[in-house]
Amino acid sequence: MELQSPDRQLRLAVDLVNTRTREPEKLIAPADLQSFLMAHGEPEPVAVGERDLVAVRAFRERLRPVFHAEPDEAAGLINALLEEYAVRPYLSNHDGTPWHVHVAKPDTSWVEWLAATTALGLATFAAGHGFEALGVCAAADCDRVFANAAERRPRRFCTPRCAGRTRVASYRARQS
């Protein structure tokens, strides 16, 4: 199991939360989790079972509040995850990979690896950009989360699509 660059760790956290929104559940079967992990750079073979899926879906519910909470509370949530799942960081270049930092136990379960990795990704990102850069889409019918690294450019929407839809809706509301 790779531990990835800070960007990829963060992407893993955001995308995992966004597998369950108001849209239909994206992690229905173990194969969905397998595809998710491979799409986020996990080298094959990625072996995922029903128990991994259940555990990851439960863990996902602990990650979303980080994006909703005030900074003090969000930091506490991340610290709790690090305390529970992360081990002392160590460098590895296993299997011919470039040197990278691991914070998950070697050969651990997918959920433990995901928890340690996404918590580190969120911690690093929040420390670098502030908790204001983590958010939930402001569109009325969307609850996707996002991480916005652009300095001094606050962001309210997950995508330009949600921003545009909201703009059109408020324009129509003013016209009527």
Nearer to Zn ion (CB atom), residue 122 or residue 158: 158
Count other C-beta atoms under 10 Å from residue 67's C-beta.
23
Query: Which of the ranges 37-45, 57-65, 71-79, 155-163 carries the binding residues for Zn ion, by CB under 5 A?
Result: 155-163
Name the DSSP class of 94.
G
Query: Which of the ranges 31-39, 64-72, 78-86, 151-159 carries the binding residues for Zn ion, by CB under 5 A?
Result: 151-159
Alpha helices in the chain (DSSP H): 6-17, 30-39, 50-68, 71-85, 110-129, 160-175
Nearer to Zn ion (CB atom), residue 55 or residue 158: 158
Q: For 110, phi and psi rounded to 5 degrees?
A: -60, -40
> Least distance to Zn ion from the beta carbon of 170, Å?
15
142 lines the binding site for Zn ion (CB under 5 A) = yes
Nearer to Zn ion (CB atom), residue 24 or residue 98: 24
Angle at alpha carbon of residue 150, lines to 147 and 153, rounded to 5°: 105
Of 53, 86, 103, 137, which one interacts with Zn ion (CB under 5 A)? 137
Nearer to Zn ion (CB atom), residue 51 or residue 161: 161
List of residues 6+ apart from 6 with CB closer than 8 A: 121, 124, 125
Structure tokens at 73: 């509370």
Q: Are 119 and 112 in contact (CB under 8 A)?
A: no
Of 139, 145, 147, 166, which one interacts with Zn ion (CB under 5 A)? 139
Query: Which of the ranges 64-72, 125-133, 135-143, 165-173 carries the binding residues for Zn ion, by CB under 5 A?
Result: 135-143
Nearer to Zn ion (CB atom), residue 32 or residue 143: 143
> Least distance to Zn ion from the beta carbon of 62, Å?
22
100 vs 59: CA distance, rounded Å: 24
14 lines the binding site for Zn ion (CB under 5 A) = no
Binding site for Zn ion (CB under 5 A): 137, 139, 142, 144, 158, 162
